[in-house]
Amino acid sequence: MTGSTYFDFDKTLNKAFKMLKDDKLKSFGLFVICGINLGLRIDDLSKLSFEDLRGDEITIIEGKTKKQRTLKVNDHIKLALTFFDESLRGYAFKSQKGTPFSSQHINRLLKKHFKGVGAGKVSSHSLRKCFGRRVWDNDNQSERSLVYLSQLFNHSSTQVTRTYLGITQDELNDIYINL
């Protein structure tokens, strides 16, 4: 796999929920939970508000593609929000200056708190890749899931998605062996 690695979903989710109990890491814990459950690019994820997250759906215009996308808010995110005061408004993930987390800040925090949860280089893409790997694994590593992910990620082909997720030929061969 080139670039960053993906995180183990369950380990990442558990670690992020523990962060919700620490006032200094609470916002970042929510960020990680949203990152692995929504599969958004970091720039789009960092601009979400509490109002966005409290609904059943989030509709955004993706920054990179300018395409509209609607996402479901799942139970992991809803549970994480119970750690926050319901009256909070504005950016859900903000710096001490009140601005959205920068990608540099996110990368520093990920490297500090999540090194070892993935197999290699840690970056903001690791959260999105974690989401993709979870979808692929939950659908029995099917080609169908790669088609869906390719659409969700706005990739030009399923081969681009395979490469992005770091899916190896051995993993693909295992599909045939396990039939």
Render pLDDT for 52-72 as a digit per residue (tens, 0 to 9): 999 999 999 999 999 999 999
Please report the pLDDT score of residue 1 as a whole number: 47
- pTM for this model (two decimals): 0.91
Over residues 133-149, the pLDDT tens digits come to 999 999 988 899 999 99
Length of the chain: 179
Instruction: Count CB atoms within 10 A of the CB of residue 49.
Output: 16
Q: Highest mean pLDDT range out of 4-8, 10-14, 166-170, 171-175?
A: 10-14
* 13-22, 100-109, 170-179: the lowest-pLDDT one: 170-179
Tell me the average pLDDT of the chain: 92
Residues 6+ apart with CB under 8 A from 156: 150
DSSP secondary structure letter of residue 55: S
- The answer to whether the CB of 74 falls within 8 A of the CB of 33 is no
Task: Specify which residues 71 forms β-bridges with.
Answer: 58
- CATH of 9-177 given 1.10.10.60, 1.10.443.10, 3.20.20.70, 3.40.30.10: 1.10.443.10
% the chain with pLDDT above 70: 98
Q: Which of 48-52, 77-81, 110-114 has the lowest mean pLDDT?
A: 110-114
Q: How confident is the model at residue 28 (pLDDT cuts 50, 70, 90)?
A: very high
pLDDT of 2 higher than 70: no
Q: Where are the domains of the chain?
A: 9-177
On whether the CB atoms of residues 73 and 34 are closer than 8 A, the answer is no
- In this predicted structure, what is the pLDDT of residue 90? 94
| Nearest-angstrom CA–CA distance, 14 and 23 | 17
pLDDT at 177 over 90: no
